Amino acid sequence: MREISNGVDSSESEDNLRRAEIMLASLGMVLEDLRKFGLVLDIGARGCEVEKAARSVKINSVVSVDRSFPKSIIDSGMKVIQSDAKNLDLEDNKVDLALVRASAYFYTQTEEETWAILNNINRILKKDGEQRIYPARFGHIVNGILKEINSGRSEESWIEGLSDMDPKDTNFYNNLANIRSVEFLEQRGIFVKKREGITLNANLNFKEYLAVPKF
Ligand SMILES: C[S@@+](CC[C@H](N)C(=O)[O-])C[C@H]1O[C@@H](n2cnc3c(N)ncnc32)[C@H](O)[C@@H]1O
């Protein structure tokens, strides 16, 4: 049964809550964990599931950020920050936790781009702040691995090659991407932990996230 209260469809908010719980689990968290922070940025929030779920249990610490929100969010009147993670124009030392799930780092093409995002998010973190990144890799590292695997092949045959890949090889390359992403940080003197998320969704392809304390 679909109940409507104050214009909010309760089955919709239950779906939202479930999606938010799965998102947070991949970052090693449950919804209640958000209550202990003053300011949490959900970067690349798109549908703002985490902020909506948090508000539904009176946790008001989450602010959604995205370089391009869907029209439904803009029209909803939610107070969001529309900005690229590279140039987030917030004061230094303001943020307790930055969640970056399947967003900014996932799409980086170059080392410089990854580095620019890392530094900008780091700048706005408080002294004991942390960024959590899921999946545990950077786009530019994945790009580099794909180039190595496919050197000498045309771009069309790359795609074929990827879909034909033995699952054992896919696993190997996924792990390699995670290991090289950790190395990328460690080579720059950045301390990082690679951890497994809380398994709420066994179908998730990627199990690990990165926890990067302010450096
Ligand atoms: C696949 S959605 C992820 C949505 C949600 N975080 C999740 O985990 O399902 C990726 C979102 O990241 C945003 N995004 C990608 N790169 C970004 C960047 N550099 N800065 C801010 N947002 C970015 C996109 O606009 C998009 O809305």
Domain ranges of the chain: 4-139+195-213
What does the DSSP assignment read for 25-43? HHTT--GGGGGG-S-EEEE
Kindly report, residue by residue over 20-63, the tens digit of the pLDDT: 999 999 999 999 999 999 999 999 999 999 999 999 999 999 99
CA distances from 107 to 34, 153, 158, 166, 214 (A): 26, 23, 18, 24, 22
How many angstroms is it from 102 CA to the middle of ligand 1? 6
> What's the order of all strands across the beta sheet hosting 81-82?
81-82, 62-66, 40-43, 95-101, 125-134, 208-213, 193-196
Q: Is the model's pTM score more than 0.85?
A: yes
Kindly report, residue by residue over 63-99, the tens digit of the pLDDT: 999 999 999 999 999 999 999 999 999 999 999 999 9
How many angstroms is it from 42 CA to the middle of ligand 1? 9
> Which atom number of ligand 1 is nearest to the Cα of residue 99?
6
How many angstroms is it from 24 CA to the middle of ligand 1? 15
First to last CA, the chain: 50
Angle at 41 between CA 27 and CA 18, to 5 degrees: 50
CATH architecture of 4-139+195-213: 3-Layer(aba) Sandwich (3.40)
pLDDT score for 5: 39
Mutate-to-test residue for ligand 1 from 29, 67, 99, 108, highest number of ligand atoms within 8 A of CB: 67
**Alpha carbon nearest to ligand 1 atom 25, residue:** 68
